[in-house]
Every structure is written in C-alpha cells, then in structure tokens.
Amino acid sequence: MGQGIIKTTRKMYHKALMQRMNTTYDASKRYNIDLLSAIHFLNFSWKKLAPSKIVTCFAHAGFFSTVVSDPDDDQPDDGRTGSDLHEAVHKIAGQEVEGDFETFALADAAAPVVAPATDAEIIYTWWPRREREPCEVATMVQAREFLRVL
C-alpha cells in the first residue's frame, strides 16, 4: 500500500497524542498511553483522512472498485428458478422430496431448548463436593462490630 497514507496517518496519530499529553501536562498530571488509547487515537486519525485519499492509495496498490450487485435482487445469478432447483434435488435424491423450504427450515422448531446455565450454576457444578459445615449467621450487632473493625 502507498507509504503516503501511512505517513499521514502516523503524523495525525502523533499530533493527537501530543495534544493529549499537553492537556494532561497543563493539568499537572502525567499521561501514560495504553493500548486502548492508542487504538482510539489511530481510529481517530484514520477517520480524519479524506475518503478520496484512501481510494487513491488503494488504487495505487492495485485494488480497484468493482460493481456490486443489487442486494434487493432475489433472482439467482445463474438464471435457474426454484422449480429447476427442485427438479435437480429430485434427480439427486432419486425420489420425490416432501414438503417445501419452510417445512425444512422449521423442522427443529419443536425441539426442546435448554436455557444456558448461570455463572453460579457452573461454579457450583465444579466446586469440590464435600459436606459443608453449617455457618453461623452474624447478628446485626456482630455485623456492625465487624464493619467497625474493617
């Protein structure tokens, strides 16, 4: 890919980083960059680039825009219709296929579904199984005393 767009992005990244460092320095704080902040700065810098520069860069690298087909077009690209496909499936299966697509798609709709386990249930399943001694429940006076000590 073209080096110009990379250099421009780096310059914008460094500018944003220096602005952040100056802002924190003025507030008498020290700024430490972390990975998430670096990613945000890079994203900010990339979004500030003009789309025409990005298109030009990719064109220099050999990527060209292609015509995208209309996503609203429901017709198959090869010109075959639904009945043609049904006949092809009939030939492959060697017998008449019962039902339609909706029957196929909803075949497992009546299957029982189990709710996902909660974190507590997962932990309890793997927790060592031993006889637990009954714990003594603290009274309100004892709880206040414990909190005062902490």
∠ Cα 29 35 38 (to 5°) = 75
pLDDT in tens, 101-140: 677 677 777 777 777 777 777 777 766 665 556 667 778 8
pLDDT in tens, 68-88: 555 555 555 566 666 677 677
Secondary structure, 3-state, the chain? CCHHHHHHHHHHHHHHHHHHHHHHHHCCCCCCCCHHHHHHHHHHHHHHCCHHHHHHHHHHCCCCCCCCCCCCCCCCCCCCCHHHHHHHHHHHHCCCCCCCHHHHHCCCCCCCCCCCCCHHHHHHHHCCCCCCCCCCCCCHHHHHHHHHHC
Give the chain's mean pLDDT. 75
**Confidence at residue 81, expressed as pLDDT on a 0 to 100 scale:** 65
**Confidence at residue 113, expressed as pLDDT on a 0 to 100 scale:** 72
67 pLDDT higher than 60: no
11 pLDDT higher than 60: yes
| CA–CA dist 105, 97 (Å, integer) | 14
**Confidence at residue 115, expressed as pLDDT on a 0 to 100 scale:** 73
48 pLDDT higher than 80: yes
Question: Angle 35-48/3-26 helices, nearest 10 degrees?
Answer: 120
All structural domains of the chain with their residue ranges: 3-60
**Confidence at residue 69, expressed as pLDDT on a 0 to 100 scale:** 54
**Confidence at residue 138, expressed as pLDDT on a 0 to 100 scale:** 78
Of 16-20, 32-36, 94-98, 102-106, which range is least confident?
94-98
**Confidence at residue 59, expressed as pLDDT on a 0 to 100 scale:** 79
Place 53 in a pLDDT band, splitting at 50, 70 and 90.
confident
**What average pLDDT does range 53-74 have in this prediction?**
67
